[in-house]
Amino acid sequence: MNLVIGQTVQRDYNEELRYQNDAINKMKKEIEELSSKLRKANFSESTTSKRITNLDEELALINKLIQSLKKEEDINRGKINILKNDITIKENELNIMKNRYEQRVVNSYLKGRISDLEKVLSSTSWRQAVYRTQYLKIISSIEQKMTKEIENLLLKINKDRLQLESLLRQSIALKREKQKQMLSLRKMRIKREKELTRIRQDKSALANYMQEKAAGVKQLESIIKKVLEDKARFEREERIRQQQEALKTKEFNFLKGQLPWPTEGRVISKFGKQWNARLKTTTDNPGIDIKGQPGSPIRTTMSGIVTTVTYIRGYGTTVIIDHGGGFYTVYSHVTNIQTHVDSEVRSGDVIAYMGDSGSVNGSKLHFEVWGKGQKLDPEKWLIKK
């Protein structure tokens, strides 16, 4: 019974490792393609806002890659622990079997073992001879079985040890790759900080960056439109309905003014038309911006299914969650994503942490609420502070 459970766990770990490996290779390819595209573009001629957007996109991908490498390390570590435990169990079992076998040999020797033929011939009757013959066959088959079991256990232990050595090598490689990517991340962050200083000091650069944000709004609208038109939404609706039923929660449209806040902090930019005193321009904010501590947890406001984890110009790394009934919440400028597309989440689950991805004003969360394809004022849906 234990062996079956162990094998199931092993298969699950293998599947998770394959999934993570594919995701890591895909991200590496994306980073290479983006870096190649940026190298081909004339970096000196591009605007500061364009450069910082490109840097943000690359940073978001590298950050995502580091998270995946960490996850693969954890999966690997779990698999290593299971293998070590399996080896210990099998070695203990092997020692027990070896002791039993040795004891049988010692007992046979001490009793002055005679040949099997002598035992049969020394029988006092024909019936006794038949019984002895059958008995010897049974004893012989038991010894053969014990020998075979010992051999099989040795083979399994050796196979597990080889697999363990391979996993330990993988762990070392993953650790090196993670350190390499973290070094790359640090260098790019220094470069980004220089570009941010230019934007903050140059009014025209800031104006250009606001255009990047406007392009990002259109990009987000396009993503929401695709999600709304996606055929998979019907299956999601059913899954969300079942989820709400199991959790005994109301539908989103009945929770106006009752949703928990997605993070701690203060609102620095409200929903709708916003006046920029420095640029003397009015911009339309599709959500609210919450200023908080870097690394603060970002939590879901309600249960649902993650439809999108992507990078959006001017908004950085963004997560979109479907809550059913045509309602969605959007979380931008986040980092260290803790979820993935098609994942079911509950209210209060940590899906990411507060970062400055796509932001020129430091760490913050840009939060949006969509209903029936329309942008809604998030503060009207959240619990009053």
CA nearest neighbour of 290 among 266, 257, 326: 266
Taken in order 102, 104, 110, 112, the sign of the CA dihedral is: negative
Q: Which helix (H) or strand (E) holds 165?
A: helix 126-201
Q: How many CA atoms lie within 13 A of 342 on its CB side?
A: 2
Residue 56 within any structural domain of the chain: yes
Same domain, 277 and 181: no
* pLDDT value, residue 284: 84
Number of domains in the chain: 2
Domain extent, residue 91, equals 1-201
The conformation of residue 7, written as its DSSP 8-state character, comes to: H
Q: Which residue has the tokens 């796509």?
A: 358
Indicate if 14 and 157 belong to the same structural domain. Answer: yes
pLDDT mean by block of 10 residues, the chain; 385 residues = 41 66 74 66 58 81 85 87 89 83 62 47 52 56 72 85 88 88 84 75 70 82 88 90 91 94 95 74 87 95 95 91 95 92 95 87 92 93 91
Distance between CA atoms of residues 251 and 35, nearest Å? 44
- Same domain, yes or no: 155 and 229: no
- 208 in any annotated domain: no
Between CA 172 and CA 168 the distance in angstroms is 6
- For position 3, what pLDDT does the model report? 41
163 within some domain: yes
60 plus 136 within the same structural domain: yes
- pLDDT score, position 348: 96
119/257 same-domain check: no
**Closest Cα to residue 268, out of 245, 289, 294, 293?**
289
Task: Looking at the structure, tell me whether residues 230 and 321 fall in a common domain.
Answer: yes
**Is the distance from CB of 25 to CB of 65 less than 8 angstroms?**
no
Please tell me the distance from the alpha carbon of residue 158 to that of residue 156, in angstroms, as a whole number.
Answer: 5
Q: Check whether residue 229 and residue 110 sit in a common domain.
A: no
For residue 251, tell me if it sits in a domain. yes
Residue 333 amino acid letter: H
User: What's the pLDDT score for residue 135?
Assistant: 53
Answer yes or no: do 98 and 154 share one domain.
yes
Domain endpoint, select from 167, 201, 235:
201
CB atoms within 10 A of CB 384: 7
- Residue 180, domain member (yes or no): yes
Distance CA 163, CA 5 (A): 19
- Domain limit, last residue, from 201, 232, 247: 201
How far is the CA of 63 from the CAs of 27, 196, 258, 311, 335, in angstroms? 10, 19, 33, 12, 7
Domain end call among 201, 228, 251: 201
* Site of tokens 């070094």: 183
Nearest to 357 by CA among 337, 384, 339: 337
In a domain, 206, yes or no: no
What are the beta bridge partners of residue 282?
A: 275
Q: Are residues 221 and 366 in the same domain?
A: yes
Rounded Cα distance between 217 and 194, Å, is 25
For residues 269 and 196, state if they share a domain.
Answer: no
Q: 270 and 383 in one domain? A: yes
Please check whether residues 172 and 233 belong to one and the same domain. no
Distant-in-sequence, close-in-space partners of 315: CB < 8 Å, separation ≥ 6: 213, 216, 220, 332, 333, 358, 366
Judge whether 370 lies within some domain.
Answer: yes
Kindly state whether residue 255 falls inside one of the protein's structural domains: yes
What CATH code is carried by the domain that includes residue 333? 2.70.70.10
Long-range contacts of 220-227 (CB under 8 A, 24+ apart): 220/286, 220/312, 220/315, 220/318, 220/330, 220/368, 223/308, 223/310, 223/312, 223/320, 224/320, 224/328, 224/330, 224/370, 224/373, 225/373, 227/307, 227/308, 227/320, 227/322, 227/328
